[in-house]
Amino acid sequence: MEVVIQSSAEELAELAADAIERLLAARADAVLGLATGSSPLVIYDELVRRHQGGRLSFAAARAFLLDEYVHLPPEHPERYCNVIAQAFVDRVDFGAGAVHTPDGNAEDLAGACLDYEAAIEAAGGVDLQLLGIGTDGHIAFNEPGSSLAGRTRIKTLAPQTRVDNARFFGGDADAVPRHCLTQGIGTIMAARHLVLIATGIAKAEAVHHLVEGAVSAMWPATIVQQHPHVSVLIDEAAASRLRLADYYRQVWADKPAWQVL
C-alpha cells in the first residue's frame, strides 16, 4: 500500500488523473471503476480539464460504477447513474453504453447483481478502481459487518451512512433510500489497481483504520491492505491520525521519478 499525503485535494487529483492518463495512453479501451461521493469530484474535474485540453479521450474506454440506490425514480438527481453522468460521464467523450451502473430499479434485483458481475467479467475486469471511504470505513456501500469476499448484491445502508448522505437529500436522512446494490469487496479487490482518495478531518479515523488498523469487517476498507497495488491519496487532515505519517511522507519524497503510482 502506498500512502501519499499532500496538502490539497487538487494535488491528489492530479496524481489520480496522471494514473488514469497513463493507463489510457497504454490501452485506450481500459476499464475504469468509478465512484460517487464528494471526494472523487476533484478527480473528475481534473480529468474533464485534461479532456477539454485535448490530452485525454475516453472514447474507447469502458467504466463500471461501484454502487446504486434501490428504487429511486429514474430521473432522481441522486441516483448514482445520474450523479456520475453529471459529475463526469456527460462532460467527456465516453461512447454510448460504455458506462455501466447496477440497475437499482430492476424487477429482479438479485438477477441485476449477477448480470453486473458478468458484465465486469466480460469487459476483462477493472483496470483502475477509484474509491472513496465512508466515515464508518465503508467502501462502495459495503457497510461494517460486510463480507470481505462478497460480490455485487443488495445491501441495507447503515444509519450512519444515511445520516452522512442526508446532505444530498435536503438534509433529511429519512429521504435517503434504505437499500442499495453494491459491488462486493471481493469484486473491488479483483480490480488491478485501487486508487482511494480521502480528504478532511471527518475521514481521519477511517483512514487510520484503513492504513494502520487490523483487517476487520468492522472497518471494511481495511481489506485493501491485502491488495497488491493500492494508492491511498489523502490530505493532511485525513492523515492526522496516522502513526507513521512522517515515514509515508519520506517514502514519497524519496520515490524515484520513474516509479509512478
* Cβ closest to ligand GLP, residue 37 vs residue 150: 37
Cell triple for residue 40? 472523487
Cell (9 digits) for 168: 444530498
Question: CB 165 → ligand GLP: shortest distance, Å?
Answer: 6
From 14, 67, 164, 235, active-site residue: 67
In 35-156, DSSP assigns E strands to: 62-65, 67-69, 99-100, 128-131, 153-156
Nearest in space to 123 (alpha carbons), one of 67, 62, 33, 65:
62
CA distance 72 to 147: 25
For ligand GLP, the closer CB: 8 or 52 = 8
Of the pair 50, 155, the CB lying nearest ligand GLP is at 155
Using CB under 6 A, list all residues that contact ligand GLP: 35-39, 66-67, 132-134, 140-141, 161, 165
Q: Strands 193-198 and 230-235: what pairing?
A: parallel
Following CA atoms 60, 98, 140, 170 in sequence, which dihedral angle do they give, to the nearest 10 degrees? 120
Q: Sign of dihedral through CA atoms 18, 220, 127, 181?
A: negative
Q: How far is the CB of 156 from ligand GLP (least distance, A)?
A: 13
Q: Is 14 a catalytic residue?
A: no
Nearest distance from residue 20's CB to ligand GLP, in Å? 17
Catalytic residue among 100, 127, 138, 193: 138
**Cell matching residue 63:** 467504466
Between 57 and 160, name the residue whose CB sits nearer to ligand GLP. Answer: 160
Residue 143 falls in the annotated catalytic set: yes
Minimum CB separation of residue 125 from ligand GLP in Å reads: 19
Which residue of the set 14, 103, 136, 235 is catalytic?
136
Asked if residue 193 lies in contact with residue 85, where contact means CB atoms within 8 angstroms, the answer is no
Active site residue 193: no
**Nearest residue (CB) to ligand GLP, 17 versus 196:** 196
CB of 97 to ligand GLP, least distance (A): 23
DSSP symbol at 142:
B
Phi-psi region of 86 (alpha: psi -120 to 50; beta: other; left: phi over 0): alpha
- Residues designated as active site: 67, 136, 138, 143
